[in-house]
Structure 1
Amino acid sequence: MSPGRETIGIGMVGHAFMGAVHSHAWRSVHRFFDPPLVPRLAVLGGRDETRARVAAAKFGWEDVETDWRKLVTRDDVGLVDVCTPGDSHAEIAIAALEAGKHVLCEKPLANSVAEAEAMAEAARRARERGVRAMVAFNYRRVPALAHARNLVASGALGEIRHVRSVYLQDWLSDAQAPMTWRLRRESAGSGALGDLGAHIVDAAQFVTGDVITGVSALTNTFVKQRPAENGGTDEVTVDDTALFLARLSGGAVATFEATRFALGRKNAMRLEVNGSKASLAFDFEAMNELQWYEGTGTEAGFRRILVTEPQHPYVGAWWPPGHLLGYEHTFTHEVADLLDAIGAGTDPAPSFDDGLRVQRVLDAVEKSAAAQARWTSVEET
């Protein structure tokens, strides 16, 4: 621990994929950044004690709990990190906030607007007692996307006219891929829409500074049954893909596509913004770069901005220019920002209200798709 800095005990619920990257962030953040509070990996929560202890030993946690209710009330826990499927986000986060614990909750915030509203209201009440809450949209912390936001905010693109964003994966393309919790509505809330679409909705709103006001959407489920764990088949009850048109509050029009069936695409989260003066484009599979266009003439074209200079967002804490960052760094940036906000007594971003705003868009997409792409206002959902 760095001299003069207080510690804060972290209690994390869940230890699968998100638990692994969050653990790495909590372990490393104070070794590269200078947060006012140094995290201590106090307790890891998991339903199976044996598996939880194996994960705790692997990731560096001091203790385990098999009941999240005990975890959120422990005296040695000051912040609860929720890394569970969406069906338990609301219950855990609200209980933690009411127990006076700061909360970091994975995205999407909840499985329904009603749950997200309850969480946002709990966060507002907690804020009055100095307790903070943040939703984990980690792509905001990609230095190139944060730099893109700064470029838009500076006016360098002029009037924003078009936004197009896609999130393409292929890990479900095989119809024989087994059933998981992500394919059940009761646990995941939705499919590609909530898992991937939530990210590109938030990224578009973050970079442009505008919000989505209405959508026209369609969704589809390509594989309706999958092999079950214990033999036989299970019914897939979520979407495999979601596509929608949208209008933003600043007047721009936008298109979005989220799918886990784009064969050959592994994690192609892309965003392009066209303005009256310039355009920018981002692709997470080249996450240290922005493509930038500004100019006219027969030789004009996009050029590459390598976002690894120390003056670029977050980058100065890491390596010399040209030494690239990776996926895991976005989570370290995320918890650094959260600890800074807690230390300063300010509200972190994205807040639970921001998460609720994304949830309203997802809800509007589902309602529009159910009504055969009828234009659906986000405010009316």
Structure 2
Amino acid sequence: MIRTVHVDLGERAYDVLIGPGLLDAAGARLRPLVRRDRVAVVSDQTVWGLHGARLTRALEAAGLAVHPVVLPSGEQTKSFAGLEALCDALLALELDRGDLIVAFGGGVIGDLAGFAAAIYKRGADFVQIPTTLLAQVDSSVGGKTAIDTPRGKNLVGAFHQPRLVLADLDVLATLPDREMRAGYAEVLKYGLLGDAAFFTWLEAHGRAVLAREPEALARAVERSVEMKAEIVIADEREAGRRALLNLGHTFAHALEAETGYGEALLHGEAVGLGSAMAFRYSAAAGLCDAQDAARAVEAVAAAGLPARLSDLGDRRFAADDLLRHMAQDKKAEGGRLTFILARRAGEAFVARDVDAGEMRDFLISEGAV
């Protein structure tokens, strides 16, 4: 069964389709969106090797010529150099603004291809076909596109909504277990920030989701996308409520910067750890009941995600270095630290004036030096 979540943004509205078999139906789904019988498909070496031939067959069956742009796999591709290489490849294809760009991959490809579409000849249409759980429940929906810089993650980007999102649950069968757990961190985030009943359901069914049991997986993805859509509709450009989607991310982005945006710490792993830290900080500050904080931390750990800095091995983090990255976070304003903190499991809020000294003490209590 195909489930549809509508992202109602007026003239920029689009559907997110969730279910099995969507890759094979991609040609029929994309055909109404194209003006010429050609599409540029941006992917990475891993995804293209696994699924490129299947997507190509589906698009060609609908009469579409496929022009693949295959980039190196990994977070390092989401950079100025990666953006330049992608834009040059798109220009070499002589795409018009009316041609369609397809982002076919995980969050790195979705963010990079979406940003390239936003700036290509001042704006081209694009479609998201996310191939990781993290991308399906989070980064493919909502129009946030960006690249990383040495000074921080996602600091250069644009809001650019896709025309359509196809979340094919079948492609998750080839996703490594570690990547599956990383994506599940974002699923947990939705329950923790705004849906206590969903969080309770995940406590009971998280293992089934991670095991890719069809019904549990479909429900987890659908509810996550519903929550993302509801928040994006209310606050498309993150002026207020949308910031809640960054639960755990201020901690996460600082940790990712310190580990070099690589395989040492995946984004979803950092989000899981950051969410646990946000709940522990909230409890320590008297904002959240200790029992709720313990539930959040246990849910992260039960998914096989790092829940404490010590779970990252012997690596030592300097509290001052982490604070420096936090001060560069997109949510920071006027030198004030902004975090998403919790009142309880299922209710988060934006704290816009977190004391840097108190945060430093907390980081040291967590194991930073």
Note whether the superposition's TM-score is higher than 0.5: no
Q: Larger % of strand: which?
A: 1
Q: Larger % of helix: which?
A: 2
Q: Which has the higher Rg, Structure 1 or Structure 2?
A: 1
Which interval holds the TM-score relative to the shorter structure?
Answer: 0.3 to 0.5
Q: TM-score, normalised by structure 1?
A: 0.33
